[in-house]
């Protein structure tokens, strides 16, 4: 046996890419795949508080009671099937409305002579970078009624008209507010697709005598159909996992969706039932992704981008140009500026429901704790409240740590995938890194709760620590950073590294002197999205946060449950301002502009 030969062969195979792929596959298998098996097991186990509901059982016993209760029990309709139907209806409606609004705006910006396209594009993206439930809080402040809300909303105060419950709470406002939050997603995807259509196709059709309507129906729509379908499905998937808006607008009238039922079961010490609902949500997420990939796979032949790079002449709006422009600007103003203004106003009203100038006060911002002033919450003002300030600091820490972990981890995973192309390691690592995207946010939080709530081997229980929040958020947002890193590395030819290897440069030097400088812009861009997502996240962390690790988002849930909307809205104002400030600074430093990519 030639031992030196075997040693050299083994050493040649233990290159940095192989080592990284092995380490990342082990890590992702532990934090993504293993929790799924743990969760399935938990649905067949009697938990401590559940033993009182299952006669003759004790904690740790195996049972089918949870599955029977969810699927066939006396309360199955109200506890599972009705929330499931509500979830499917709401997700379908918000997907349709988001597609209608976002697609319409994209067509106006990319395909018409609409003025101020840059302004429209920049305004249209703001609702998406704000927390999804900020619009829900603004809706409550504006349209709540005394019957359910306990005090007058701004609309009833100004008009004297008491709105019906279905308008103030429940399915209708949930659909409206979530649609206004998610339409930028369709706007970006469809806008990019419209911009990339080869102009020669339309010019050829015009030469053959086709009119505008025929070109739209026969050429433009078939080309963007896969993106339209993808936008619908991805919005549908996000609707399934959202928690904040259904909780704030649905809870007061007992309108439940799967996300709120999952939260109620976990908080109510019924984890077996909650994990079953989580598995159902994951199943729908996987089904949506399969349909999306199937659709795109079947329509690949429609993707046509030539080297000409031009666009056909824009559609002239004619006499409707002024009306359309004003309508678009007013709509975006109502969706972006007005909600923020409403939230700010409510935080300065000493007594909710009274919007007179004499009721203006800074008590909820800088006032002392009191049971006799305002709503009598016994909580100090936001800027002098230790619990709120700690929650805000926790959010900032979470955002910074998650951004760094995702930025570095995503870049290294992207590098490993690209440099091991054509191997089983590449395919497996690519799929493992994308799994977190499939799982709805609140379901992903439940998975980590199942895995890390108790000690497992050498790893202690992480429940009640900021480490658990950082780990969950980092893994959840890793697919975005991985895709960004993968795209950046694909643009760097291997010849540069090969030349460095021939010069004797070690791997760390190659990364620091060649790879990082060339993909620096993509790296810093990859930091921004995880930071913003962590700052505004609620669905993912609502099950994982404890009083000691409360975030700015989770503490608003507690205040809202108590009816302390001035505090909730004030905290939301701070969150939105922080996100907008960080976004503006990063775009200024990195010289990125979304409007340029869409047509502004």
Query: pLDDT digit string (tens) for 421-448?
Result: 777 877 788 778 888 877 778 888 888 8
Q: What is the mean pLDDT of residues 195-223?
A: 67
Q: What is the mean pLDDT of residues 308-326?
A: 73
Q: What pLDDT is recorded for position 596?
A: 52
Which pTM value belongs to this model? Answer: 0.83
Phi/psi of residue 315, each to 5°?
A: -75, 130
Question: Which SS3 state, helix, strand or coil, does residue 521 take?
Answer: helix
Rounded distance, CA 131 to CA 244, Å? Answer: 9
Q: What pLDDT is recorded for position 145?
A: 85
| pLDDT > 70 fraction of the chain, expressed in percent and rounded | 82
Residue range 75-303, CATH number: 1.10.3720.10
Residue 73 has pLDDT above 50, yes or no: yes
pLDDT, one tens digit per residue, over 260-274 is: 998 888 888 888 888
The answer to whether 266 and 158 have CB atoms below 8 angstroms apart is no
Phi/psi of residue 303, each to 5°?
A: -80, 110
Highest mean pLDDT: which range of 190-194, 412-416, 555-559: 555-559
Selected from 3.30.750.210, 1.10.760.10, 1.10.3720.10, 3.30.1330.20, the CATH number assigned to the domain covering 348-600 reads 1.10.3720.10
The answer to whether 548 and 464 have CB atoms below 8 angstroms apart is yes
CA–CA–CA angle 542, 544, 546 (5° rounding): 90
Calculated CA dihedral for residues 580, 235, 283, 69, nearest 10 degrees: 80
Q: Which residue intervals of the chain bear CATH 1.10.3720.10? A: 75-303, 348-600
Rounded distance, CA 102 to CA 233, Å? Answer: 14
Residue 63 has pLDDT above 90, yes or no: no
Rounded distance, CA 482 to CA 413, Å? Answer: 6
- Among 245, 238, 279, 248, which residue's Cα sits nearest to residue 262? 279
């Amino acid at each position: 046996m030639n031992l030196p030969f075997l040693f050299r062969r083994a050493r040649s195979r233990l290159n940095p890419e192989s080592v990284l792929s092995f380490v990342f596959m082990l890590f992702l298998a532990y934090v993504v795949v293993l929790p799924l098996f743990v969760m399935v097991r938990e649905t067949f186990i009697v938990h401590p508080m559940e033993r009182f509901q299952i006669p003759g059982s004790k904690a740790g016993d195996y049972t089918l009671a949870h599955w029977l209760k969810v699927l066939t029990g006396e309360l199955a309709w109200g506890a599972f099937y009705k929330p499931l139907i509500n979830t499917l209806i709401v997700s379908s409606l918000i997907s349709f409305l988001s597609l209608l609004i976002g697609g319409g705006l994209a067509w106006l910006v990319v395909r018409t002579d609409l003025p101020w396209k840059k302004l429209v594009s920049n305004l249209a993206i703001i609702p998406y970078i704000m927390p999804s439930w900020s619009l829900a809080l603004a809706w409550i402040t504006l349209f709540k009624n005394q019957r359910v809300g306990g005090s007058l909303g701004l609309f009833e105060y100004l008009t004297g008209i008491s709105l019906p419950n279905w308008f103030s709470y429940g399915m209708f406002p949930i659909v409206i507010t979530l649609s206004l939050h998610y339409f930028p997603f369709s706007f970006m995807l469809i806008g990019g697709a419209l911009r990339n259509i080869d102009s020669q196709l339309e010019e050829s059709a015009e030469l053959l005598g086709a009119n505008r309507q025929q070109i739209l129906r026969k050429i433009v729509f078939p080309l963007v159909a896969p993106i339209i379908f993808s936008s619908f499905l991805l919005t549908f998937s996000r609707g399934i996992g959202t928690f904040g808006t259904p909780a704030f607008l649905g809870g007061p009238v007992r309108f439940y969706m799967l996300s709120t039922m999952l939260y109620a079961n976990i908080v109510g010490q019924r984890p077996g039932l909650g994990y079953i609902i989580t598995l159902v949500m994951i199943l729908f997420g996987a089904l949506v992704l399969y349909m999306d990939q199937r659709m795109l796979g079947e329509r690949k032949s429609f993707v046509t981008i030539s080297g000409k790079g031009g666009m056909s002449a824009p559609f002239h709006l004619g006499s409707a140009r002024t009306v359309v422009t004003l309508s678009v600007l007013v709509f975006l103003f109502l969706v972006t500026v007005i909600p923020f203004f409403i939230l700010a106003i409510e935080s300065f009203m000493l007594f909710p429901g009274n919007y007179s100038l004499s009721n203006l006060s800074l008590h909820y911002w800088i006032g002392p704790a009191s049971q006799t002033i305002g709503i009598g919450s016994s909580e100090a003002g936001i800027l002098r409240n230790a619990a709120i300030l700690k929650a805000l600091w926790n959010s900032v820490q979470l955002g910074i740590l998650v951004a760094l972990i995702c930025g570095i981890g995503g870049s290294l995973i992207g590098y490993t995938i690209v440099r091991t192309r054509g191997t089983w390691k590449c395919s497996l690592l690519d799929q493992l890194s994308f799994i977190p995207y499939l799982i709805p946010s609140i379901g992903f939080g439940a998975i980590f709760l199942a895995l890390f709530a108790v000690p497992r081997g050498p790893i202690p229980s992480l429940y009640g620590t900021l480490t658990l929040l950082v780990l969950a958020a980092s893994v959840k947002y890793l697919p975005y950073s991985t895709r960004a890193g993968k795209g950046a590395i694909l643009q760097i030819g291997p010849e540069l590294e090969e030349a460095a290897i021939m010069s004797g440069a070690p791997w760390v030097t190659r990364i620091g002197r060649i790879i990082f400088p060339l993909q620096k812009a993509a790296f810093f861009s990859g930091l921004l999205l995880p930071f913003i997502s962590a700052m505004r996240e609620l669905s993912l962390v609502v099950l994982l946060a404890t009083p000691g690790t409360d975030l700015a988002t989770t503490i608003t849930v507690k205040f809202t449950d108590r009816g302390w909307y001035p505090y909730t809205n004030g905290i939301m104002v701070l969150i939105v301002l922080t996100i907008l400030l960080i976004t503006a600074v990063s775009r200024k430093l990195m010289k990125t502009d979304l409007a340029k990519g869409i047509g502004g």
